Chains A and B, each alone.
Chain A
Amino acid sequence: MNATGIGAAVRRKEDFRFITGKGQYTDDVTRPGETHIHFLRSPHAHAKIKKIDAKAAQAMPGVLAVLTGAELAADKIGNLICGWMIHSKDGSPMKMAPHPAIANGKANYVGDPVAVVVAETLDQAEDAAEKVVVDYEVLPAVADPAKAQKSAPQIHEVAPANTIYQWHLGDAKATEGALKSAKHVTKLHIVNNRLVPNAMEPRAAIGEYDAGNQSFTLWNTTQNPHVARLVIAAFVGMAPEHKLRVIAPDVGGGFGSKIFIYPEEVVCLWASKKVGRPVKWVSERSEAFLADAHGRDHVTDAEMAFDADGKITALKVKTIANLGAYMSTFSSSVPTYLYGTLLSGQYDIPHIYCEVDAVYTNTVPVDAYRGAGRPEATFVVERLVEVGARELGLDPAELRRKNFIKSFPHQTPVIMTYDAGDYNASLKKALDLIDHKGFAKRKRDSERSGKLRGLGFSTYIEACGIAPSSAVGSLGAGVGLWESAEVRVNPTGSVEVLTGCHSHGQGHETTFAQLVAERLGIPIENIAVVHGDTDKVQFGMGTYGSRSGAVGMSAIVKALDKVEAKAKKVASHLLEAAENDIVFKDGKFTVAGTDKSAAWGEVALHAYIAHKFTGAQLEPGLKEGAFYDPTNFTFPAGCHICEVEIDPETGNVAIANWVAVDDFGTVINPMIVEGQVHGGIAQGVGQAMLENTVYNKDGQLVSGSFMDYTMPRAVDVPSFKVDTTVTKCPGNPLGIKGCGEAGAIAAPAAVINAITDAIGSEDIAMPATPQAVWAAIQKHNGGRKAA
């Protein structure tokens, strides 16, 4: 193995700037003449905007403009859109309501922008915003998705009963039949709690208009600058695509929440033209709770059927998904094709039927958050399997083993064709690592000290490598989900790799360079990875859905193939040999069977000085681009086991052990992959035990700051035992499956399965706070202490 090549735990190239405080995040960028914008947001969940009086605000010191939704509409700035069409089971298209960047006439959630103030300083903008008088007529609101369809106020005219779509997947009749003839049916009611992504860097945007060139530049905390440019150009209509440059500099975490095209970036661009100066917005954290798309928020009833041998014969799922007040960029796909299609889990289930009603509520829009649909699916499946095993008196590991898919490719009843996997291998390794055999003794030891101990499994699957363009197109996606790469070799032999992916913590500057170092045999220091600027990278689809390795690196492989082919042509002229006789290995071009050779740098130089060939023979230069469209999704899978110890007196849950054995296919950098798993687990633990987004009945966000919303801290999580098994993905050249979301997908079910195992009751919802656990123990055993 090359010391900096594929499989090496190379220390990250990007770290130096971050650990020395030299990162360049959007808020660190200042533009000459910069102004500041404050968004005045609706304090009501649902209200008519009768009148906005901005006179007093406009007269405040430093104020350059007070702008409203009416002016946005007058300037013909288009609405934000949802880019994935879902059809209901009756064939009707989803009911997408207009989503102006500033509310015009009616505010639909607490946080909906109703006006903006642009001023010389942020303090001046904030002071002036207090003088804007908005005359609201408050309307009844609904925040609970389970109540949105019945006797709730209608939020948008286009969506009767607040219903966006009623989607389904699978064979209803066969599933019903199997449920009827089952030996046992396990039923669960599940609330998948609403979460706030909370990347540590709050979102930010700077809009700048160049009146001379009639073009815009947007600095933006985005995971996909090209998609932002496309939507803002083609749908919002801010400027032609070639007159809008989007720069995503260092971005401090995304977890999905920075995929979407948001009102603030549109307004900063628009306002910059209005005031003729750059306009900067940086979200405050409490503002982010009201302005960043939330995640999850499903209410589900599910039934799993088993035969006499414990084989799963059917699964039926009915879910209500809360999409909030407007349809965010990819929101429609999350509870449908990223959810229903994963309900087979790792299991051979003959019949599955899934129905999903997506609803509007007077809450912040909901969209993809780490895992996006797959954590929700995994939670449904893994809770049902675990509870099913308990009800049938079977060992939960054994029940899983019995039902695992064992041969590949495997066609599930819900669209997906799994290409490769060995689910038993990851389960077996995880059982060994957690010392499953020793658990009974550990449980007895806990009981001796008055504690409860439990073990919870989560054998999850996810679909990554998003995604084959024609396949997602047939399912309603408005875009293709390929990726692009360009490899530019400089005359000195150093290399720039331009990628359409975007790194916001994933370490692409290192892992992508590792691939190039391995392929070209050059030092990793001589490779730069360029991303996040639409003026540098021609087009790309960005980073989410664990796609950068499986899709983005595959594009780099294709470009490298072309570079190598071209370099061989150059070498053949340089070495005066037939092109077919040139062998490229370890950074050296050799004429087969001879000692004639040329180093990488020599060939690179000759590609540019072009002294050894004529223009008629060969085009000078060494730069190649490629687009890679995947042939299938990839299917990372694995087994997480969580072991908890609970103090029944307080309900406090301590995670005593955590084992994660994941199959991500080929691993480029194990250090980085492990880091991704750690972070994902912590977010999953957060969902299971700490984080909850609470709206009251009036639609007020009660948990609207870090004082109210419990983020996982260092004391809340343990150190994790992380390992891998490998079945290579047959669908892409490197065999990569993807690793970014696994932890967040696997963890919630593992935690809740462990807690319910310990307390002997299934009656607990997420987040399982100490109070909730204590109450569940009291309810279950009448307050008796552990045996």
Chain B
Amino acid sequence: MPAVKMTVNGKAVTADIDPRTLLVQFLRENLRLTGTHVGCDTSQCGACVVHVNGQAVKSCTILALTADGADVRTIESLATGDKLHPMQEAFRENHGLQCGFCTPGMIMTAVDIVRRKGNELDEKTIREELEGNLCRCTGYHNIVKSIAAGAKAMAG
């Protein structure tokens, strides 16, 4: 089995893995980072979004071996102890989650939207940017609010 080496949430990890292992499987099963979720099998739902070298990636779409040498960040890395990241805080403050299953992917996507589009996001931009993330609970209303507020808070 080939070896894979990467940095996950700031820690160097190495493992011998079955080459067909997806990045999301590696994170969930090998590293037990279960905050990253699997909501579909066609790269449609975005529950598995993580950051690879600073960019949002659906971790079900790439092999763990593809991420060899990469810097990977998951939802577990956003908060510092009990101190939440502003985007996490915004989701809580604006009731941007219900069942919580899509939430890690939504938050990781949202942080990436801010990186690319800045801190002042209008509703249209946010809705268009969420084209890769599905939520069945919230009707998106409060997710959109959360992301707008979180983006602003990230500037401060």
Contact = CB atoms under 8 A, between A and B. Distances in A.
Interface of A: 11-12, 14-25, 27-28, 30, 123, 198-202, 250-253, 255, 282, 284-286, 504-507, 671-672, 674-675, 678-683, 705-707, 711-715, 717, 719-720, 743
A20 B36 CA distance: 10
Given A202-B39, A250-B99, A285-B40, 15 more contacts: A16-B92, A18-B104, A21-B76, A25-B37, A123-B18, A199-B101, A200-B102, A678-B139, A678-B140, A678-B141, A707-B44, A713-B140, A717-B140, A717-B141, A720-B141
A285 B42 contact: yes
Nearest to A22: B35
Contacts of A683: 136, 139
A18 B131 contact: no
Given A20-B78, A706-B45, A505 B100 contact: yes
Interface stretch (B51-59, B63-71, B120-128): B120-128
A629 B145 CA distance: 39
B114 interface: no
7 contacts: A20-B84, A23-B100, A250-B99, A681-B139, A705-B42, A714-B144, A720-B139
Contacts of B78: 20
Nearest to A678: B139
Interface string B101-135: 11110010000000000000001001110110111
B26 interface: no
B143 interface: yes
B14 interface: no
Given A11-B92, A21-B36, A706 B42 contact: yes
Contacts of A714: 126-128, 130-131, 133, 140, 143-144
A253 B131 contact: no
B91 to A, nearest CB: 5
B100 A717 contact: no
Contacts of B45: 200, 285, 706
A295 to B, nearest CB: 13
Contacts of B39: 200-202, 285
B91 A678 contact: no
B100 A252 contact: yes
A711 to B, nearest CB: 5
A253 B35 contact: no
A286 B41 contact: yes
Most chain B CB inside 10 Å of its own CB: which residue of A22, A200, A255: A200
Contacts of B47: 200
A255 B133 CA distance: 19
A201 B100 CA distance: 9
A284 B33 CA distance: 19
B139 A717 contact: yes
Most chain B CB inside 10 Å of its own CB: which residue of A18, A284, A506, A719: A18
Most chain A CB inside 10 Å of its own CB: which residue of B33, B44, B84, B140: B140
Nearest to B91: A19
Contact of A711 (B41, B99, B136): B136
Interface string B65-99: 00000000011101100001000100111010111
A23 B136 contact: no
B137 interface: yes
Nearest to A29: B34
Contacts of B141: 675, 678, 717, 719-720
Interface of B: 18, 20, 28, 32-42, 44-45, 47, 74-76, 78-79, 84, 88, 91-93, 95, 97-104, 107, 123, 126-128, 130-131, 133-144
A661 to B, nearest CB: 16
Given A11-B93, A720-B141, A200 B99 contact: yes
Contacts of A675: 95, 98, 137-138, 141-142
The 5 tightest CB contacts between A and B, nearest first, are A21-B35, A18-B100, A252-B101, A682-B139, A505-B99
B101 A19 contact: no
A732 to B, nearest CB: 24
A123 B41 CA distance: 15
Most chain B CB inside 10 Å of its own CB: which residue of A19, A251, A672, A715: A19
A705 B39 CA distance: 11
A379 B78 CA distance: 45
A558 B19 CA distance: 58
B94 to A, nearest CB: 9
A155 B89 CA distance: 54
Most chain A CB inside 10 Å of its own CB: which residue of B18, B39, B47, B144: B39
A93 B100 CA distance: 42
Most chain A CB inside 10 Å of its own CB: which residue of B36, B100, B133: B100
A427 B139 CA distance: 23
B117 to A, nearest CB: 15
A707 B134 CA distance: 13
Most chain A CB inside 10 Å of its own CB: which residue of B44, B79, B99, B127: B99
B101 A15 contact: no
A365 B144 CA distance: 35
B139 A743 contact: yes
Contacts of B104: 18-19, 21
A679 B139 contact: yes
Contacts of A202: 38-39
A717 B130 CA distance: 12
A253 B102 CA distance: 10
Most chain A CB inside 10 Å of its own CB: which residue of B42, B95, B107, B138: B95
A504 B37 CA distance: 16
A11 B92 CA distance: 7
Contacts of A720: 139, 141
Contact of A21 (B18, B75, B126, B135): B75
A250 B100 contact: yes
B138 A678 contact: yes
A573 to B, nearest CB: 41
Nearest to A743: B139
Contacts of A18: 97, 100, 103-104
Nearest to A23: B100
A12 B103 CA distance: 14
A200 B141 CA distance: 17
A713 B130 contact: yes
B92 A252 contact: no
A98 B101 CA distance: 35
A679 B101 contact: no
A631 B40 CA distance: 42
Nearest to A719: B141
Contact of A19 (B38, B40, B88, B123): B88
B57 to A, nearest CB: 16
Nearest to A707: B42
Contacts of A17: 100
Contacts of B135: 200
A301 B97 CA distance: 39
Contact of B100 (A14, A123, A285, A682): A14
Given A200-B134, A706-B134, A251 B103 contact: no
Most chain B CB inside 10 Å of its own CB: which residue of A12, A17, A24, A681: A12
Contacts of B130: 713-715
A19 B98 contact: no
Nearest to B29: A30
A706 to B, nearest CB: 4
A255 B92 CA distance: 22
Contacts of B44: 705-707, 711
Given A20-B75, A285-B39, A707-B44, A253 B92 contact: no
A507 B126 CA distance: 25
Contacts of B95: 11-12, 671-672, 674-675
